[in-house]
A and B are shown apart, each in its own frame.
Chain A
Amino acid sequence: MKLDLLITGVGGQGIVLASDIIGEAAMAAGYDTKKTDTLGMAQRGGSVVSHVRIGDKVWSPLIKEGDVDILAGFEKLEAVRWGSYLAPGGIAIVNSQSIPPPSVSRGLEHYPTDEEVVDILKQGIERVFLINGTAQAKALGDIRTLNMLMLGCIATFVPFVGVDTWKECICRHLPAKAHEINIKAFDLGQRETQNVCSR
């Protein structure tokens, strides 16, 4: 068994926490796991990439280009940037939020449209799920729950970790007062991908 996940987005979206939880959940399910983050030098607003690897035995913490089974992009541009890392048969879960980098804000470069995002990702794979995660997290009452919502989406495709294990790992990382809303976000994410999958 091996499952390689790449979680990408923009600094401040809670990617490192989400990938920590995936690693701990995999470990709790009895697998070997390694995870690593590349953050760059900015505190906020830079590209963030987390590699999470799960298997019977994991060597490299970094996933090889072309080996990613699940790409979870918390932001569209950062999702499509890592498209070449997807394995044939891999899936991409993309939050439809766009955070334009300064070159786009200043009109110097073009931000890809939703169609372009899906087209580029579909060059390598068939299953691309565009999720309206940010809006749903906002509707839930706290935009910061986006990471748990995305985690819920991801969990749909990690069948060897039980729902209780996910929730235990989530709660271990958050203060008690944040448990309820984040578990709600996780459930919402699960439903989202389950719906899209059955459609």
Chain B
Amino acid sequence: MVSTTETARLLSGNEAMALGAYHAGVKVAAAYPGTPSTEILETLAGFGDTHAEWSTNEKVALEVALGAAYAGVRALASMKQVGLNVALDPFMAAAITGVKGGLVVISCDDPGIHSSQGEQDNRHLARLAKVPMLEPSDSQEAYDLMAVAFDLSERFDTPALLRSSTRISHSKSVVRIGHTRTVSDAPVHFQHDVHKYVMLPVNARLRRPLVEERLVRLAELAETFPFNKIFPGDSSLGIVTSGVAYQYAREVFPDASFLKLGMTFPLPQDLIRQFAAQVKRLIVIEELDPFLQESIRTMGLKVTGKEFIPRIGELNPGIVEAAARKAGLLPPAESPAVAATVANLPKRPPLLCPGCPHTGIFFVLSTIGQRHKILDAQGKSVKESKLVITGDIGCYTLGALPPLDAMDTTACMGASIGQALGMVKAGVASKVMAVIGDSTFLHSGITGLVNGVYNNGRLVLLILDNSTTAMTGHQDHPGTGVSAQGQTTRAVRLEDLVRGIGIADVKVVDAFDLKALRTAVRIALESDELSVIIVRGDCSVRVPRREGPRAIDAEKCNECGVCFMLGCPAILSNEGEAYIDSAVCVGKGCTVCQQLCPQQAIAEAAP
């Protein structure tokens, strides 16, 4: 729990943004969980005196915040980088209508793809929407820039984009808290203004020039914006940088001159020219795309950066230093001797947890469709997969990894259902099954399923319902019936929802009953109509119920290795001999390995 009053705190960027927004008087905040942005809304939800909600998806979250801003209060929508893709429609709309109360949109980019389906540089979206963009370089700025962003939003009648990245959001640094909470005491009132808020073409055309005029005024402000700052140093090298890249650049070039940009759109062109004139060589150090570099080059200045700084992945001081050596900015150096040995160590890929409700169903899917190629005596594959499984985004995406190997596609939130229908309509010979989690289904799977009903799609949908948004750290969602601030609300029952759109063949199956899972999947695969199986079981991390760990009887075990096909982290091996780690085995609440073992060698451990 983050204190709202202490004067100096060690805060993550996300906590600092939440506290900054709180002190800036935010009244409505909405988000959908997504790494690395999740903790912003979580922290705000703990403060009180602000409506903080998990919305069904990022588009809805931004629309909620936009409505609040129209009503004159300060509002916030936070999301991960791909979340802004989902919310791009209201984001663009907000950019043209403008706001009344301040509206800040936080986009947390994920360079290096720590936990995303792709890498994208959302700085481009500020340029697309023609809205101001601020980039903090540590938690202090994450805190300070929130108030600035709300102020800019109101003064310029525009949403403001605050762009963070994994390393800003998920690193802690010292924050000196300068304010307490101040909330506007103006009465909440929506001022009717059809020309501003009703974007019929006739009105949108009237708003359009205002957007361009706003941009000109913002560019003027950028010239004297206090977070755009020159740090004079050795004039032989001048570095333009922003965000966390500034920290890496300072680390690697302690003596160089710096132009650090806190506002990266629109750019302060005069300030950049002034800086360029002060230094002999001008470079840009930025993460991902040459966003700043290209703009500066377009100004007619001689500048380099992406010629040696990678445009792929997350930067760090080592990468920046190596790039600088390659570019001749630093003398060459040797790499340490240990590096080579360490590269050959076994990897530790992410896994489904012990007692995960997804393990059983993925084991069934990996075997029922004969997806595992079984080798004949000559070592040739004799069986081929007869089942295509379109997948989605959540913990269950790990079902794509060995040994389960039971997912064929993962693109974006909710895509599994549309993709499955597309494959069916294209006429693939295999059976097609879509797999989606409960939170993802409510996020954007519903529309795909309605489409499947409408377009008569003969597919099977598995909704893996663990009653939480697990991968981002167990947030509630409409299906759990608990709000972000802990109030009980009406839970959306998935089976009612699915039946409500006209699907007759709906089954609910226990996630830990292997036989029932196999039967349900088999029947659904033979069905000629759209069928839905809801696989229900609590997340073993959110609902700990460790009781009666299982053990393997070494006398009965014939080392067939089938239990290893589950990929359960509790099942380990000592020189080929399988054993269960009783400290992590969930036991009675799972028993999937016990149901599976052909030798019946697994049972409750002796106390």
Binding site for B on A (CB under 8 A): 10, 12, 20, 23-24, 27, 32-47, 58-66, 77-78, 80-84, 86, 100-107, 109-112, 120-121, 123-124, 143
Contacts and interface: CB of A to CB of B under 8 A. Distances in A.
B348 A77 contact: yes
Contacts, number: 160
Contacts of B569: 44-45, 102
A20 B338 contact: no
B564 A65 contact: no
A107 B170 contact: no
B341 interface: yes
Contacts of B347: 101, 103
Interface string B555-587: 000000100100101011100100000011000
4 A-B pairs closest in CB distance? A42-B350, A36-B171, A61-B171, A109-B346
Central interface residue in A10, A20, A44, A102, by most chain B CB within 10 Å: A102
B279 to A, nearest CB: 20
Contact of A33 (B10, B251, B321): B10
A101 B173 contact: no
A36 B395 contact: no
B518 interface: no
Given A83-B338, A101-B349, A102-B351, 4 more contacts: A34-B138, A44-B541, A102-B569, A121-B338
B172 A120 contact: no
Contact of B250 (A47, A59, A105): A59
A65 B345 CA distance: 17
Interface string B302-339: 00000000000000111001000000000000001111
B564 to A, nearest CB: 5
A3 B277 CA distance: 38
29 contacts: A23-B172, A27-B8, A27-B10, A32-B174, A33-B172, A33-B173, A33-B174, A35-B10, A35-B172, A37-B170, A41-B114, A41-B471, A43-B353, A44-B351, A44-B569, A60-B316, A63-B317, A80-B342, A81-B345, A84-B336, A100-B573, A102-B569, A105-B573, A106-B403, A106-B573, A120-B341, A120-B342, A121-B338, A123-B337
B22 interface: no
Contacts of B79: none
Interface of B: 8, 10, 35, 114-115, 138, 167, 170-174, 244, 247-248, 250-251, 316-318, 321, 336-339, 341-342, 345-351, 353-354, 395, 398, 402-403, 470-471, 473, 541, 561, 564, 567, 569, 571-573, 576, 583-584
A31 to B, nearest CB: 9
A42 B170 contact: no
Contacts of A45: 348, 350-351, 353, 569
A105 B346 contact: no
A147 to B, nearest CB: 15
Contact of A65 (B248, B336, B349, B403): B336
B376 to A, nearest CB: 21
Contacts of B561: 106
B244 A86 contact: no
A158 to B, nearest CB: 16
A96 to B, nearest CB: 16
Nearest to A143: B583
B338 A61 contact: no
A9 B339 CA distance: 19
Contacts of B244: 60-61
A100 B584 CA distance: 13
Contacts of A104: 346, 573
Given A37-B170, A40-B350, A46-B348, A81 B338 contact: no
